[in-house]
Structure 1
Amino acid sequence: MQADLPSFRFDPEKAIEAVLYIATRIPVDKRAVLRVLYLADKQHLRTYARFIAGDFYHALDFGPTPMRTYGLIELQISFEGVKGGASTVLREQGCNGSRRLEALRDPDLDVFSDSDLECLDAAIDKVLAQPDSDPLRALREEIYDRAWLNARAERHDGRMSIQHILD
């Protein structure tokens, strides 16, 4: 097993607010929100040496996934400060396989640093700038990057190496 940099302290409130921030700006489903968050976290890690909410990533079939944030929005896991998981601030809209994540309130911008917002905005702008009707498909190579591929091939648990994300 390859040595990795230390993990970060997870901030569930910031994770939920980041999901809300993305969901209020791009009409995407839960899994796409997580991929946009990966793009933001990857830039934040490279520039500021930390992830926005301090999560860790696994290489799941549908893309790089911040696991604790995934627990909050997909599995409705509660963390201290975020009661009832994300169900109190997010819901899915739509049917027939086209389900969009909808924010039930505006994000609390006070939880973010300027660098957090800079990287979130950059990731959102990158997605919105894609000419494709499915902009995340156009960014596939950046999302399913070497860190994701290495975790799928080398790690039985699928955890993505911070060092590979930095490469």
Structure 2
Amino acid sequence: MDYPFEFNIDKGIDAILYIIQNGAKPTFHHISKVIYFADKEHLQKYGRLIFGDHYVAMKHGPVPSEIYEILKVTRGDKLLSCTPNELVDKAKSSFSVKEKYKVNQLREANLDVFSESDLECLDYSITKYGNLSFDELTDLSHDEAWEATTENELIEIEYILATLDNADELIDHLQDQYPGEA
């Protein structure tokens, strides 16, 4: 199945801020895992990802690839040739990175970019996962989707869907988001 979502830069940047300002540990690892679990919760309940990001199976669990790039660019890592300057400017005016992996918030999150269901699932994930230890988050995120993927490769959306209780229903929905239309 083709990846049926498109990454939303504004939601990605504001999610980083929202996660930090609502009490999760402000590290790359915690932010990435809170986002992964929020996306899975939203996908199961509402049939779509919050951010539209792709996940990569990295050593310590799934990582949202675009959000990870935003964090790395803000830290000062080399820009990818495809990284828009607008994204870099937005990110650097929103947060900074200190001590290699710690994110420092520079402004409040803009909640207008989120739907009620987005915030519901973000809040759920922040509460449940935001203050777990590095090892606890790593263990929990090493789910079947991560296990089915070679390290540093893209996790197929079907693998993520397979970890959810309503996988068959979601696959049908994502393959035909507009049933009855010709």
TM-score between both structures, scaled by the size of structure 1 = 0.80
Query: Is 1:15 aligned to 2:15, yes or no?
Result: no
Inter-partner Cα distance in structure 1 for 2:62 and 2:131: 21
Residue 82 (structure 1) aligns with: 87
CA RMSD of aligned residues (A): 2.3
Moved more, 62-71 or 102-111: 62-71
Q: What is the identity percentage for the equivalent residue pairs of Structure 1 and Structure 2?
A: 32
Q: May I ask how many residue pairs the two structures share in their alignment?
A: 154
Inter-partner Cα distance in structure 2 for 1:55 and 1:128: 19
Q: Please identify the structure whose Cα radius of gyration is greater.
A: 2
Inter-partner Cα distance in structure 2 for 1:164 and 1:73: 25
Residue 160 (structure 1) aligns with: 155
**1:112-166 deviation digits (Å, cap 9, x = unpaired):** 0011001100000102575xxx2x433444311110111127xxx6111112112
Secondary structure of 2:103's aligned partner: strand
Secondary structure of 1:64's aligned partner: strand
Counterpart of 2:37 (choices 25, 36, 39) is: 39
Q: CA deviation at 1:34?
A: 0.8
**1:85-134 deviation digits (Å, cap 9, x = unpaired):** 522211234x4x7x52121111000000011001100000102575xxx2
TM-score between both structures, scaled by the size of structure 2 = 0.74
The answer on whether the counterparts of 1:22 and 1:33 sit within 8 Å (CA) in structure 2 is: yes
Which has the larger share of helix? 2
Query: Is 1:146 aligned to 2:147, yes or no?
Result: no
Residue ranges of structure 1 left out of the alignment (5+ in a row): none
